[in-house]
Copies of this chain bind each other. A is one copy, B any other.
Amino acid sequence: MTLANRALSVYVAAFLDELVRANVKHIVVSPGSRSTPIAMVAAEHPDLHVWLNVDERSAAFFALGMAKARREPVAIVCTSGTAVANYMPAVVEAKESQVPLIVLTADRPHELRDIGAPQAIDQLNFFGKQVKWFVEMAIPEESPEILRYVRTVAARAVSTSLKGPSGPVHLNFPFREPLVPIIEDDQIWESGLGHRAQFVKAPESKLMMKEEELELLANGLMQVERGLIVCGPLDRPGFAEEVVAFSEKLSFPVIADPLSQLRSGPHNKKLVIDSYDAFLRDEYIARELVPEVVIRFGAMPVSKAVLLFLKKNPQIKQMIIDGEGLWRDPTILASEIVHADPVLFCKSIHKILTEKKEQNAEPTTIKWLESWVTADRIAGEVLEQLGNDEEEFEGQAVLRIAQNLPENSTLFVGNSMPIRDVDSFFFNTVRNVRIMANRGANGIDGTISAALGASTVAEPLILLVGDLTFYHDLNGLLAAKLHKLNATIVIVNNEGGGIFSFLSQSEHPKNFELLFGTPLGLDYSHVVKMYGGQFKRIDDWVELSAAIKNCKDVKGLNVIEVRTDRSLNAEKHRKIWRIANETIKKNWELGEGDAH
């Protein structure tokens, strides 16, 4: 046992142990030589679960999904060189969707950098602005100062990854040879293992407005007749209950993005609007529903109709409540950016309003609110009924999944068309269903890996993806095989980029298939077989319903493919939206007639 060898081992052990004390329980390891010290010591820590994943791109997305599902930081480690570069896509997604990732990379030591040594690239600040914090670690030493330092960096990395906005941090470790640590004796855990207290604690803190500002705001809101709450993607336990209570106090309808987690669960959904994406497309309907004030939570909703609705009405006073201290307003029309934790904000305003309202009259339900609720009810009914009738219609996949998902399941949704179809066809339910997606940068990459990462804690898990998204992360399927994960994947296979049939590119048939349609002509049954999964191509929706109903009993990887037609699907979407909106308008006219 050389001195350098001992220093390396104790240094890495102190670092990993402090990660564990700071509540990191999982590390995704990709094989490599330079990263040997971290990999080998991690495998020795009794409270650290090692997940092997060969492709670093998939590995990082797997960790991202796991971190997201657990709402806890997860570590990843890889060797030097392009291995690091393969982390980039998931790091970008983690940054944009505020997922705490602890990115550990091994590097050549200083004397072997920028001199043509093998597998050495410039890893300093490698992720640029895509990480919250970068640290070039000290060369391993065994002095008390350096061990205290390495523990502090570990604690700070975890804390930084968690503080709002959460996100990835990157620590780069220069390691000299020999790279094999001492794992044969317990001496490397110089100060006991992870069940002890942290060396440095960094308790959670939250953003909140001043009391006086809150009071003013509450007073203002009480004067508002037509107020609308918009909840975009937001994953904050307890938020649904609080925002609903707050909205009911003011009689404000609530636009609930599928990723707001407002559409599922036991809370009251009287004011929770889920079919806005259909009826806000109609100019006449939208005009009738314009509010005076909008209060927005979370990221911007998936629905483009909502965005256009806000942009077309610059007179609306838009107030954006952001718990992360961000400035997320793609409309560029906000009149107020409030940096306050959404749960705390709703609770506090609700409390003030309750005190005030008790002295005043009951809230009056106005016709405008009724119009919102009626439009939503009718749109929902038409969408559900027609959607269930249409063959080869991608919306029906969502309807079938939504109708049959068991209690406490997780639905992971691919980008592009699936998330939009979930927006349209996943209606309010009392069942507890968590909906997840990679909605930071909205990529079609890494989706299988992220979903499988989530499946390690969220079971049963159903992943709904298009064929290009499925193709993009085929390597991700390996995790299901290696780690014996249970998951049901539904591929809506329309042979290419279905979303482009909804965009103006589709009006130019020349080169459309080459550049946008991009049919791949792949029979995915082969690759699913290679990864030891079950594959079934279905042509009857009843089969899909049954599969979803039974997803709890599925062991291993279960892939179901539904074939659809891209341009037909776009047509059917347009038809259903049109009929829904015509029905709403007819009903409104009748209503008006009745009132006369």
A87 nearest in chain B by CB position: B88
Bound Cα distance from A527 to B525, whole angstroms: 9
Instruction: Return the contact of A482 from the options B50, B326, B520 (Cβ within 8 A).
Output: B520
Beta-carbon contacts of A107-129 to B below 8 Å, as 1s and 0s?
Answer: 00001101111111110011011
Beta-carbon contacts of A483-510 to B below 8 Å, as 1s and 0s?
Answer: 0000000000000010110011101101
Contact A441–B116 (Cβ < 8 Å): no
Q: Does A475 reach chain B (CB closer than 8 Å)? A: yes
A515 contact set on B, CB distance < 8 A: 29, 31, 36, 39-40, 43, 50, 52
Contact B116–A299 (Cβ < 8 Å): yes
**Contact stretch, chosen from A151-159, A219-227, A466-474, A575-583:** A466-474
Bound Cα distance from A52 to B515, whole angstroms: 7
Q: Does A68 reach chain B (CB closer than 8 Å)? A: no
Q: Does A539 reach chain B (CB closer than 8 Å)? A: no
- Smallest CB–CB gap between A255 and chain B, Å? 16
Instruction: Return the contact of A508 from the options B40, B118, B442, B499 (Cβ within 8 A).
Output: B40
Instruction: Return the contact of A54 from the options B114, B130, B471 (Cβ within 8 A).
Output: B471
A475 contact set on B, CB distance < 8 A: 471-472, 474-475
**Contact stretch, chosen from A77-85, A197-205, A403-411:** A77-85
Bound Cα distance from A43 to B96, whole angstroms: 32
Instruction: Return the contact of A115 from the options B54, B111, B327, B523 (Cβ within 8 A).
Output: B327
Bound Cα distance from A81 to B97, whole angstroms: 12
Contact A31–B526 (Cβ < 8 Å): no
Q: Does A556 reach chain B (CB closer than 8 Å)? A: no
Contact B510–A183 (Cβ < 8 Å): yes
A56 nearest in chain B by CB position: B445
Contact B92–A514 (Cβ < 8 Å): no
Q: How many copies does the complex hold?
A: 2
- Smallest CB–CB gap between A557 and chain B, Å? 13
Contact B183–A508 (Cβ < 8 Å): yes
**Contact stretch, chosen from A328-336, A422-430, A542-550:** A328-336
Q: Does A325 reach chain B (CB closer than 8 Å)? A: no
Instruction: Return the contact of A529 from the options B117, B180, B520, B526 (Cβ within 8 A).
Output: B526
Contact A443–B81 (Cβ < 8 Å): yes
Given contacts A43-B514, A504-B180, are A81 and B441 in contact (CB under 8 A)?
yes
A122 contact set on B, CB distance < 8 A: 128-130
Instruction: Return the contact of A526 from the options B178, B330, B526 (Cβ within 8 A).
Output: B526
Q: Does A47 reach chain B (CB closer than 8 Å)? A: no
Q: How many residues of A contact B (CB 8 A)?
A: 92
Q: Does A481 reach chain B (CB closer than 8 Å)? A: yes
Given contacts A183-B508, A505-B36, A514-B50, are A119 and B442 in contact (CB under 8 A)?
yes
Contact B471–A328 (Cβ < 8 Å): no
Bound Cα distance from A179 to B505, whole angstroms: 8
Q: Does A89 reach chain B (CB closer than 8 Å)? A: yes
A507 contact set on B, CB distance < 8 A: 180
A50 contact set on B, CB distance < 8 A: 514-515
Contact A121–B505 (Cβ < 8 Å): no
Instruction: Return the contact of A505 from the options B33, B54, B96 (Cβ within 8 A).
Output: B33
Contact A330–B89 (Cβ < 8 Å): no
Q: Does A91 reach chain B (CB closer than 8 Å)? A: yes
Q: Does A28 reach chain B (CB closer than 8 Å)? A: no
- Smallest CB–CB gap between A275 and chain B, Å? 21
- Chain A: residues with CB nearer than 8 A to chain B? 29, 31, 33, 36, 39-40, 43-44, 50, 52, 54-57, 81-86, 88-89, 91-93, 95-96, 111-112, 114-122, 125-126, 128-130, 178-180, 183, 299-300, 326-330, 332, 441-443, 445-446, 468, 471-472, 474-475, 478, 481-482, 497, 499-500, 503-505, 507-508, 510-511, 514-516, 518, 520-524, 526-527, 529-531
- A selection of 17 A-B contacts at a CB cut-off of 8 Å is A31-B515, A33-B503, A40-B505, A40-B508, A43-B511, A82-B92, A83-B445, A85-B89, A85-B92, A115-B327, A115-B332, A116-B300, A116-B329, A119-B441, A183-B510, A472-B475, A474-B475
Known: A50-B514, A119-B442, A478-B522. 12 other contacts (CB 8 A): A36-B505, A44-B511, A54-B518, A83-B443, A85-B91, A85-B92, A115-B332, A119-B441, A128-B128, A179-B504, A180-B507, A526-B529
